[in-house]
């Protein structure tokens, strides 16, 4: 994994820290809204959040091995197998032999699963359009670049479990009992 370049802290009094603080707060609100959005889909469909994410993933990425689906969800392979079993029992996915690897199977959406995934995608597109439809192409391109950078930084941290564990343990054993204002 290529490390991200270190960020240079904003000079005191530059106002940039206040701007970053505002962005952090809005990101927290966005994460909360995305979680609520996922729960609403799961509740409306009578599915779990992992099942909704898997249907969405298969709708965007196409057929996939169970192990890859589990990895994308951050789940262990046995949990991925159980999740696919539940989706298969509900008629939303089916396992088929891998076309080039006889030892493997791929998970495919059924016609019903495809309809559900397409509908979720269409509703999501409508929601994004309602929020950002009036924004200029230039600003949308800038926002897309910023979101790419944020996603890369979050994926980097998520991929460094040992480093994260060390940082959390260090912070936990620090003498201060006060909560950190920057904590999620």
Tell whether pTM > 0.95.
no
Rounded-to-integer distance, Cα 129 and Cα 51, Å: 25
Q: Please state, as a whole number, how many other Cβ atoms lie within 10 Å of the Cβ of residue 38.
A: 16
- pLDDT for the residue 180: 55
pLDDT recorded at residue 1: 42
Q: Tell me, what's the pLDDT at 18?
A: 80
Token couple for 129: 């359009």
CB 75 within 8 A of CB 83: yes
Angle CA 156–20–172, to nearest 5: 60
| Ramachandran area for residue 65 (φ above 0: left; ψ -120 to 50: alpha; else beta) | beta
- Tokens at residue 112, please? 């019903």
**Of 62, 65, 156, 46, which Cα lies nearest the Cα of 104?**
65
The backbone torsions φ and ψ at residue 109, rounded to the nearest 5 degrees and listed phi first, read: -75, 140
Q: Which CATH number fits domain 18-134: 1.10.630.10, 2.60.120.650, 1.10.287.3510, 1.10.10.10?
A: 1.10.10.10
Q: Which helix (H) or strand (E) holds 88?
A: helix 77-89
Provide the pLDDT for residue 25. Answer: 92
pLDDT < 50 positions in the chain: 1-2, 4, 175
Residues 94, 108: Cα–Cα separation, whole Å: 5
Taking a C-beta distance cutoff of 8 angstroms, is the pair 63, 108 a contact? yes
The pLDDT, as a whole number, for residue 7 is 54
């Amino acid at each position: 994994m290529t490390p991200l370049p270190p960020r240079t802290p904003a000079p005191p009094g530059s106002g940039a820290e206040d701007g970053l603080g505002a962005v952090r707060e809005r990101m927290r609100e966005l994460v909360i809204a995305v979680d609520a959005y996922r729960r609403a889909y799961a509740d409306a469909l009578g599915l779990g959040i992992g099942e909704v994410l898997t249907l969405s993933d298969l709708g965007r990425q196409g057929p996939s091995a169970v192990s890859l689906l589990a990895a994308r969800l951050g789940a262990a392979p046995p949990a991925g197998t159980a999740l696919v079993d539940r989706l298969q029992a509900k008629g939303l996915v089916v396992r088929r032999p891998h076309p080039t690897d006889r030892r493997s199977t791929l998970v495919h959406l059924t016609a019903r699963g495809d309809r559900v995934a397409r509908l979720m995608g269409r509703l999501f597109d409508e929601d994004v359009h309602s929020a950002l439809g009036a924004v200029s192409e230039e600003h949308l391109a800038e926002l897309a670049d910023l979101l790419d950078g944020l996603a890369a930084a979050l994926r980097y941290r998520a991929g460094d479990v040992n480093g994260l564990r060390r940082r959390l343990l260090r912070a936990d054993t620090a003498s201060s009992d006060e909560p950190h204002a920057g904590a999620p």
